[in-house]
A and B are shown apart, each in its own frame.
Chain A
Amino acid sequence: MINSKYFFRGLNSIKGIDSPAIALGASFIAIGALLKNLGFTIQESIFSTFLTYALPGSLIMAESMFIGASLINIFIAVWLVNARLYPMTVSLMPLLLHKSQPKWKYYFSCHFVAVSSWLIIKDNYKSVKKKYRIDYWIGIGVATWSIAIFSTITGYLASDFLNKDILIGLAILNPIYFMCMMLGAMRTLQVSLSIILGSTLGTSFYFVSPEWCILFGGVIAGTIAFFIGERK
């Protein structure tokens, strides 16, 4: 089963001074308030964060429902915006794989792949023995997931007290937090180039296709950064 020592170590990883809890919580407070304003019940709001746990996808689902989009349109829009989770998972799981660990842990814990948890594990995995990294990861995932659910409830209940300026302030927290985490991750040429080119090409491709810009920009930028990094 899950090694409790490493699980709790992962759970505690959100307690540090650089904890993502504030930014993550603020973002889900905003989404809780948004879901309330769009007419979702509190159960539906909790259900959404519980099952999806990916902020851009939840936002798109809520806004698509609001304009009456069909289920197939919602599926495609969400899949496109969350396709980034695929390379994130592929670049994470080999770090956690150990032959002594059961497969279900990997299929279960991939639900926790999200920007905050991914950046935490990428920063800390070397400090954990490979055999127990999956338990440590499950701890991080449960911690960040719980914050997201708790914050959705808080945002939903507090929505009447949150004015426009506060919601705007909450909306900038998450991108700024992720941006700082990415700046902190720029330690190798490959990663630095991936981030710089990803930002530049992702933005440029928006003018060609707003739906595909993240995927196209990201894949081309990452591939260029990979080849330049490999030549050095």
Chain B
Amino acid sequence: MSSAVVSAILITSIATYLSRFFGVISSKNIKEKSKIFRWFNCLAYSTLAALITRIIIFPEGDLSEVGYTIRFMVILISILLFFITNRNVVYPTVFSAFLLSFLNYFF
């Protein structure tokens, strides 16, 4: 393994673990039913939603090569499928991959 790559991986893992580690330390005195717990719960869901939306709308890597119209079409159909299949997450997830590959190939 090259030392540059190993250093980058170690730096990445430290930067990632820090957030988790401080999360454990901060949560020590937080009660499950407290207001601060509910606030952090809101922050967790909202930052996750922000991340997922960013990945879909402003993607990096392979997804960025797919046009907005196709991406939004796949998202809308997946949401529709999620509700049609009684909130099953696997069907829309698997279907989205096939649909996106198909649409990207033909359009």
Contact = CB atoms under 8 A, between A and B. Distances in A.
Contacts of B56: 175, 179
Contacts of A230: 35, 38
Contacts of A83: 19, 47
Contacts of A87: 23, 40, 43-44, 47
Nearest to B26: A90
Interface stretch (A4-12, A70-78, A153-161): A70-78
A121 to B, nearest CB: 12
Contact of B97 (A79, A107, A110, A169): A169
A13 B44 CA distance: 22
A77 B47 CA distance: 16
Nearest to A58: B12
B18 A184 contact: no
Contacts of A22: 90, 93-94
B1 A75 contact: no
Contacts of A201: 46, 50
Contacts, number: 323
B75 A179 contact: yes
Interface residues of A, number: 106
A23 to B, nearest CB: 5
Contact of B15 (A59, A82, A88, A184): A82
A214 B43 contact: no
Contacts of B43: 87, 91, 194, 218-219, 222-223, 226
Interface of A: 17-19, 22-23, 26, 30, 34, 40-41, 43-44, 47-48, 51-54, 56-61, 63-65, 71, 74-76, 78-79, 81-95, 97, 106-107, 110-111, 113, 115, 118, 164-185, 190-191, 193-199, 201-203, 205-206, 210, 213-215, 217-219, 221-223, 225-226, 229-230
17 contacts: A18-B89, A47-B1, A47-B9, A71-B8, A74-B8, A78-B11, A86-B22, A87-B23, A88-B48, A90-B27, A115-B48, A168-B63, A169-B104, A170-B97, A171-B59, A177-B93, A217-B46
> Which 8 pairs show the lowest CB-CB distances between chains A and B?
A89-B23, A202-B50, A218-B47, A198-B46, A198-B49, A169-B101, A222-B46, A222-B43
